[in-house]
Chains A and B, each alone.
Chain A
Amino acid sequence: MSKSTPLVGRRSWRPKWPVNTDRVFKRRRYFGTKRSVLKLQGQFNPKTLRRELVLTDKKPLFWIAALTILLVLPLGVGNQRFLSLFGIICIYAAINVMWTLIIGTAGLQSFATLATVGVGAYGSAYLSITYGLPWPLMLVAGAGFGALMGWIISLPARRLDGLYYALLTLGLSEFMRNFVTQSDALGGKFNGALFGVAQIVPSDLLTTRAGQSLLYLTAFIALLVILIVFRWVNGGRIGLMLKTAATSKEDESFASAIGVDFQKARTHVFIIASAALGFMGAFYATYIGGTSLQIFSLELLLLMLAMIVIGGLGKAEGALIGTVIVVGITQWFTDWGPWRVVLVGVLALLSVLYTRNGIFGLKAQIQEIRERRQALHRAAITGRYAEYLPQQAPDIHDKSLIVGRVFERTLRDRLKSWIDPDIIKEHELKPMGQHSDHLERMLNYFRKAPIPDKYAVYCVEPFASYRVVALSGLPGVPPRIVDDKTYPSLEEAYHAVFLRRVNDLRAS
């Protein structure tokens, strides 16, 4: 080992709570679920064997912190621009969360997200204007429209896949825009703008800070509702099933093999998400007291796609953080003009180019990069069968393996120095029985090697045909055939094993 061997070891600076094992541990659960409030797992510290209580899932803490900021910050600052900015963030985030459910969990490349939101918005707005529907019923109607829309769009998903389905759903927004422009009832004359929709917060209150705060609160609650739906579907049975099924490349056949009706589950998730999107459309209509064609615009769709890409696909937290970043840039720094869009584009590009799955995929990615660098670095300074490094030792539970290598290195060096044609000839002439001291020691070393990958002979036909195999050392795993050569006698097979072992020794 080199002179500058680094010291290994880390001290934990995290606050520690001693575990009082005499106290009864009262494990509480979220209401109505089997989920523990915090996933606390006991363990024995591998360095000291001291009892520790570890929080195995920190996500709930981050969620509580993020949602608290989202609630308290706009209400605390209280100016109108801030409140409306965060209102938009909540609404867009809610839509993105549902979109990511469709793309990530259901695995459908659908771009009909905003079309569905629009259908919810226009449908409920129309009902409100025409029939005076109050806002709570508007939300219900919006969800209904969304579900219907979802059902219709899910039909071609059975036949179309990937790119074609994406194109079809992308076209749907344009179709909706045309439909609205040509429909008088939907404000075609006013370029698709509808006004006078029932609002949650009475319009006379909207000029006051209290009213604005209240309005923001409704957006925040809408986001909470959507997050609960996401958790319910994604973390529920159907979501778990879909995610399990999607671990294989041949998703569908694998899923059906393990008893998941993939199409049905997918459609199910898609309709639920669409209903939620319709709900958000209706909410949007009541939130601003009307609706406009901007909802079907390609620009908004792409912007929202950027939010998901930057945040990370398939994760609610990704949708949320992506929305905060993109909406923040585009709506807050209005004086930057067109550069805002460029900046968003650059961020999305960087995300696609350099991250595997947006911001929330970064942690795993960095971990992997570290492991790869570690492996390369260690491989560069140690050879096969060389000794272990100090930084490898903490990962080796059985320390006798470490000293075993120290011994083995010396032994192998000595054995290697004895390899010559004479010793190989000696074995070939007589594989069994007493040999010269050097050959005997070499054979003893080979024969007492650990089982994994240990060579053995496989009898294809007694006294006629043998091959060389390597044992697995794992229960239930059969020996591996090492090559396609066969040998007519046991002695020749024994010698073939010997030659392989000598080669392995030489190569180490």
Chain B
Amino acid sequence: MATISITGYTDKVSVAPGEEVSFQVSVDNASSAQVEIVRLIHGDEHPEGPGFIEEVVPTVLSGEHAVTKQFVDVGNAAVVDDPDNKLGITGPITIYSYIFPTTPGKGRQVILGRFALDETAGYALCINPDGHLAFLVGDGEDTDEITSPIPLMHHTWYFVAASFDPKSGQAAMFQEAVVSPYNGRLGRVAPFDHHAAVEQKLRVKAALPASPFMWAAAHNSASIRGEYKDFLYNGKIDRSGVIGAALSVADLKALKDGTYTGAAHVAQWDTSAGYGEDGIGDVIVDVSPNALHAKGLERPVRAMTGYNWSGKHDDWRVAPSEYGGIEFHDDAVMDCGWDTTCTWKVPEGTRSGAYAARVTIGAVEDHIPFFVRPLKATAPILYLMPTNSYLAYANEMIVHHVPVGQAIMSHPAVLSEAEADYYQDPRFGRSTYDHHNDGAGVCYTSWKRPILNMRPKWRSSAIGTVWQFPRDLSTIGWLEAKGYAYDVATDHDLTRDGVDLLKQYSVVLTGSHPEYWHEQGLNDLEDYVADGGRLMYLGGNGFYWVISYRDGEPEIMEVRKGEAGMRAWQAEPGEYYHATSAERGGIWRNRARPPQKLTGVGFTTQGFDECHPYQRMPDSYHRSVSWIFDGVEGEVFGDFGLALGGAAGLETERYDLELGTPPHTKLLASSTSWSDNYASVHEDILFNHPGTLGTQSETVRADMTYFTTANNGAVFSTGSIAWMSALPSFDFENNVSQIMANVLDAFIKPGALPGGAWDQEEKSWT
């Protein structure tokens, strides 16, 4: 029997009662599946916790639904909108482009053209399987091509052009590298001579395929699967054009030199045109009178350095004309575009929470998660799920391609079957912790695709414990077990509703690892706290990376990892500024917003071998805060948990006045003396030296802090990702749970906080 597999995604991150959420499901080797809506209560299946808990919600959706296998049309490209068929050229033609190929030897790749493999028809400027520039024509039966005599060098800018006159069969080709001290991997001292000019007669004339003119791809189709992009290109493409005449080699060279004065352009794309104050869209502007604009598919990366990058500017807004590079990747996926399997209209009165469509066929099941937010607050507690950070890690595969991965994680990777399968064919795209096939860091990630590791029971191969969403469910489990009334909303809801969302609540709880924040969200949270809101920051390494969304497209997130921070990759020089928001990417600390300024603590170390208990610090005995520890016995707490046996660990934070911890912050507890597998974070290190690891560095620790803000506001920070995983231990009855309840109970109540009266200078004789 063939193996059945199920996966899918929802069209929205969160829905409110009255709205609809649709499920896009793909199934291998089955035609019908049982669908239920479930409310997720606990995920982590660690034997010391309560295990997986879900609650089936009776809905009209429950029952058998027809399912089918759905395919993904992987890869970046751009399609030219050409209603008058201006590029349906069968006569003389010239195509030219500036290109920066990154994998010239990987197989045939189209740069620009209109070619259909399934029809063997069309024309295309491309790179042939040997890595040579080629101009390909197909007449419906046979193909022919003219090729450059030398292979293209990867990560080098070229001007490339080809012309063809079908009447005489004469084809010409011209290529020349554009090498400056800045714009490529190699400088001019490497004595390459990339110049080539070729003439040759072709024996085939181009016939026109039905498919459109595309950048970076050809058209293909197959039975069952249907249409898809093929001959995908890896690398950058800068200014390009098409001319309806067969130019001589001399004229092709004149095009590069800017001295060309012949026949007019059919299309002349200025890849740096249309850059706005606040970002760059997907449209590639044709500045010729024909206005044959191209639209990028699966979000090609804009705002990349062009062939003419001077190296003087590092921001595309200052010198847009030097930033005409558009990067294409053959493995990019932003929207699977699957057919909807079923839709659920969330009934009025549905309680807010983390939900999933549970799709089962026999013993095989998958949970497709989404969130139900309230129309307006139904409780004093808001649990803000860090969906930005879920997207950042979506389909992360770090242990498969990062050699030092196991050293970072300090234990062998622990793979699941689903992950081993997915790695064979990563057809749902990658995470911002991975690299594209050409080695470039992944800067876009999207919700509209199956996200294998955002599943309630998923355990991270790298970490060996749960990570992100399944861990965050432990707090839902705790809130349920303790009987608190709470609402759930997401980062995406905060983006849409702003600070008004937060202001409805007495207290806001974060997830365990709210690492990725866009400026507005950070501002809203800061406004909320500054105005008297109460924040329980229940995680580690939060408020760290700068991210952005394009207006109206909240499902696709951009991140540019900059020159500092604990990072899986680093953007190329000059490419630190986001295309979607025109702001500098990187860590918030390097944009003058260290997390300490908001929460009292900020990222200080990570390690994945052991977690540890906290030890109470002297501040915690002050009457202004000692209520937090009511009912907690002894100096030490949190020496248990589903995450490597402790409440402090994985990724942790520290109090630091120099980084903006408010001066009246109380250092309640700390956990120190960790192993050398916990390393100081990169942004703390100026000169590297022996002694920055756990057994020798005092910054390797986790700090728990508390401070008050104006109007009875306060921030309580645990400073550790592992915190939440300690809540479920001993059936939710433990000292970590006790501290949580003490703080939450106090934060729920409006008015003055406990301990506020103890604000005078001490006069102690002991």
* Closest Cβ–Cβ distance, residue B461 to chain A (whole Å): 8
Taking a contact as CB atoms under 8 Å apart, the answer to whether A431 and B415 are in contact is no
* Closest Cβ–Cβ distance, residue B671 to chain A (whole Å): 14
* Closest Cβ–Cβ distance, residue B524 to chain A (whole Å): 38
In the bound complex, residues from chain B placing their C-beta under 8 Å from that of A448 are 403-404, 406-407
B341 at the binding interface (Cβ < 8 Å)? no
A397 at the binding interface (Cβ < 8 Å)? no
Report, as a range, how many residues of chain B touch the other chain: 35 or more
B195 at the binding interface (Cβ < 8 Å)? yes
Taking a contact as CB atoms under 8 Å apart, the answer to whether B414 and A456 are in contact is yes
Minimal Cβ-Cβ distance residue in A for B48: A463
Tell me whether A49 and B190 are in contact in the complex, defined as CB-CB below 8 angstroms, given that A26-B200, A494-B411 are known contacts. Answer: yes
Minimal Cβ-Cβ distance residue in B for A449: B403
Minimal Cβ-Cβ distance residue in B for A24: B197
In the bound complex, residues from chain B placing their C-beta under 8 Å from that of A466 are 414
Taking a contact as CB atoms under 8 Å apart, the answer to whether A494 and B412 are in contact is yes
Taking a contact as CB atoms under 8 Å apart, the answer to whether B149 and A42 are in contact is yes
Taking a contact as CB atoms under 8 Å apart, the answer to whether A447 and B407 are in contact is yes
Taking a contact as CB atoms under 8 Å apart, the answer to whether A43 and B249 are in contact is no
Taking a contact as CB atoms under 8 Å apart, the answer to whether B610 and A433 are in contact is yes
B421 at the binding interface (Cβ < 8 Å)? yes
Taking a contact as CB atoms under 8 Å apart, the answer to whether A458 and B144 are in contact is no
Task: Indicate with 1 or 0, residue by residue over B408-452, a CB within 8 angstroms of chain A CB atoms.
Answer: 011111111100110111000000000001000000000000000
In the bound complex, residues from chain B placing their C-beta under 8 Å from that of A87 are none
In whole angstroms, how far apart are the Cα atoms of A459 and B459 in the complex? Answer: 10
Tell me whether A454 and B406 are in contact in the complex, defined as CB-CB below 8 angstroms, given that A433-B609, A459-B414, A494-B411 are known contacts. Answer: yes
In the bound complex, residues from chain A placing their C-beta under 8 Å from that of B191 are 48-50
A-contacting residues, B195-246, CB 8 Å:
195-201, 203
In whole angstroms, how far apart are the Cα atoms of A493 and B414 in the complex? Answer: 10
Stretch of A72-80, A193-201, A268-276, A472-480 on the interface side: A472-480
In whole angstroms, how far apart are the Cα atoms of A23 and B198 in the complex? Answer: 9
B-contacting residues, A10-54, CB 8 Å:
21-29, 33-34, 40-44, 48-51, 53
In whole angstroms, how far apart are the Cα atoms of A14 and B402 in the complex? Answer: 45
Taking a contact as CB atoms under 8 Å apart, the answer to whether B195 and A27 are in contact is no
B-contacting residues, A461-483, CB 8 Å:
462-463, 466, 469, 471, 473, 475-479
A389 at the binding interface (Cβ < 8 Å)? no
Taking a contact as CB atoms under 8 Å apart, the answer to whether B197 and A497 are in contact is no
A383 at the binding interface (Cβ < 8 Å)? no
Taking a contact as CB atoms under 8 Å apart, the answer to whether A478 and B424 are in contact is yes
A434 at the binding interface (Cβ < 8 Å)? yes
Taking a contact as CB atoms under 8 Å apart, the answer to whether A24 and B200 are in contact is no
Task: Indicate with 1 or 0, residue by residue over B527-544, a CB within 8 angstroms of chain A CB atoms.
Answer: 000000000000000000
Taking a contact as CB atoms under 8 Å apart, the answer to whether A25 and B609 are in contact is no
* Closest Cβ–Cβ distance, residue A397 to chain B (whole Å): 13
Report, as a range, how many residues of chain A touch the other chain: 35 or more
* Closest Cβ–Cβ distance, residue B464 to chain A (whole Å): 7
Tell me whether A34 and B203 are in contact in the complex, defined as CB-CB below 8 angstroms, given that A463-B46, A469-B415 are known contacts. Answer: yes
The residue among B46, B461, B609 with the most chain A CB atoms within 10 A of its own CB is B609
Contact of A457 among B200, B402, B415 (CB under 8 A): B415
Taking a contact as CB atoms under 8 Å apart, the answer to whether A29 and B196 are in contact is no
Taking a contact as CB atoms under 8 Å apart, the answer to whether B400 and A471 are in contact is yes
In whole angstroms, how far apart are the Cα atoms of A451 and B404 in the complex? Answer: 9
Taking a contact as CB atoms under 8 Å apart, the answer to whether B413 and A456 are in contact is yes
Minimal Cβ-Cβ distance residue in A for B149: A42
B563 at the binding interface (Cβ < 8 Å)? no
* Closest Cβ–Cβ distance, residue A137 to chain B (whole Å): 34
A490 at the binding interface (Cβ < 8 Å)? yes
Minimal Cβ-Cβ distance residue in A for B400: A471
B380 at the binding interface (Cβ < 8 Å)? no
In the bound complex, residues from chain B placing their C-beta under 8 Å from that of A21 are 193, 195-197
Taking a contact as CB atoms under 8 Å apart, the answer to whether A457 and B413 are in contact is yes
In the bound complex, residues from chain B placing their C-beta under 8 Å from that of A493 are 412, 414
Contact of B609 among A24, A40, A432, A473 (CB under 8 A): A432
B45 at the binding interface (Cβ < 8 Å)? yes
Taking a contact as CB atoms under 8 Å apart, the answer to whether B400 and A451 are in contact is yes
B47 at the binding interface (Cβ < 8 Å)? yes
B124 at the binding interface (Cβ < 8 Å)? no
A367 at the binding interface (Cβ < 8 Å)? no
In whole angstroms, how far apart are the Cα atoms of A312 and B201 in the complex? Answer: 36
B264 at the binding interface (Cβ < 8 Å)? no
In the bound complex, residues from chain B placing their C-beta under 8 Å from that of A43 are 150-151
A444 at the binding interface (Cβ < 8 Å)? yes
In whole angstroms, how far apart are the Cα atoms of A387 and B420 in the complex? Answer: 34
Tell me whether A49 and B192 are in contact in the complex, defined as CB-CB below 8 angstroms, given that A432-B609, A476-B424, A479-B420 are known contacts. Answer: yes
Taking a contact as CB atoms under 8 Å apart, the answer to whether A432 and B411 are in contact is yes
Task: Indicate with 1 or 0, residue by residue over B650-678, a CB within 8 angstroms of chain A CB atoms.
Answer: 00000000000000000000000011110
In the bound complex, residues from chain A placing their C-beta under 8 Å from that of B200 are 26-29
Taking a contact as CB atoms under 8 Å apart, the answer to whether A455 and B412 are in contact is yes
Taking a contact as CB atoms under 8 Å apart, the answer to whether A444 and B464 are in contact is no
Tell me whether A432 and B410 are in contact in the complex, defined as CB-CB below 8 angstroms, given that A449-B403, A463-B47 are known contacts. Answer: yes
Minimal Cβ-Cβ distance residue in B for A32: B203
* Closest Cβ–Cβ distance, residue B147 to chain A (whole Å): 8
In whole angstroms, how far apart are the Cα atoms of A490 and B609 in the complex? Answer: 12
Taking a contact as CB atoms under 8 Å apart, the answer to whether A41 and B414 are in contact is no
Taking a contact as CB atoms under 8 Å apart, the answer to whether B676 and A440 are in contact is yes
Minimal Cβ-Cβ distance residue in A for B673: A434
Taking a contact as CB atoms under 8 Å apart, the answer to whether B403 and A490 are in contact is no
* Closest Cβ–Cβ distance, residue B161 to chain A (whole Å): 13
B146 at the binding interface (Cβ < 8 Å)? yes
In the bound complex, residues from chain A placing their C-beta under 8 Å from that of B376 are none
In whole angstroms, how far apart are the Cα atoms of A145 and B443 in the complex? Answer: 71
In whole angstroms, how far apart are the Cα atoms of A50 and B464 in the complex? Answer: 51
In whole angstroms, how far apart are the Cα atoms of A495 and B676 in the complex? Answer: 19
In whole angstroms, how far apart are the Cα atoms of A1 and B690 in the complex? Answer: 34
Taking a contact as CB atoms under 8 Å apart, the answer to whether A41 and B149 are in contact is yes
In the bound complex, residues from chain B placing their C-beta under 8 Å from that of A475 are 437
A236 at the binding interface (Cβ < 8 Å)? no
Task: Indicate with 1 or 0, residue by residue over A236-280, a CB within 8 angstroms of chain B CB atoms.
Answer: 000000000000000000000000000000000000000000000
In whole angstroms, how far apart are the Cα atoms of A456 and B420 in the complex? Answer: 11
Contact of A490 among B190, B401, B414 (CB under 8 A): B414
In whole angstroms, how far apart are the Cα atoms of A51 and B191 in the complex? Answer: 9
Task: Indicate with 1 or 0, residue by residue over A424-453, a CB within 8 angstroms of chain B CB atoms.
Answer: 000000011110000010011011111100
Taking a contact as CB atoms under 8 Å apart, the answer to whether A456 and B199 are in contact is no
In whole angstroms, how far apart are the Cα atoms of A466 and B459 in the complex? Answer: 14
A-contacting residues, B378-403, CB 8 Å:
399-403
In whole angstroms, how far apart are the Cα atoms of A478 and B423 in the complex? Answer: 7
In the bound complex, residues from chain B placing their C-beta under 8 Å from that of A469 are 415, 420
In the bound complex, residues from chain B placing their C-beta under 8 Å from that of A50 are 191, 193
In whole angstroms, how far apart are the Cα atoms of A228 and B47 in the complex? Answer: 77
Can you spell out 20 A-B residue pairs with CB atoms less than 8 angstroms apart? A21-B193, A25-B196, A25-B197, A26-B198, A27-B146, A27-B198, A41-B149, A42-B151, A43-B150, A49-B192, A432-B609, A434-B694, A451-B402, A458-B414, A462-B459, A471-B400, A476-B424, A477-B424, A478-B420, A490-B464
Q: Which residues of A contact B (CB under 8 A)?
A: 21-29, 33-34, 40-44, 48-51, 53, 431-434, 440, 443-444, 446-451, 454-459, 462-463, 466, 469, 471, 473, 475-479, 490, 493-494, 497
Q: A25-B198, A462-B459 are in contact. List 17 more A-B contacts (CB 8 A).
A: A21-B193, A24-B199, A25-B196, A44-B151, A51-B150, A51-B193, A431-B411, A432-B411, A432-B610, A433-B677, A446-B406, A447-B410, A457-B413, A463-B46, A473-B400, A478-B424, A479-B420
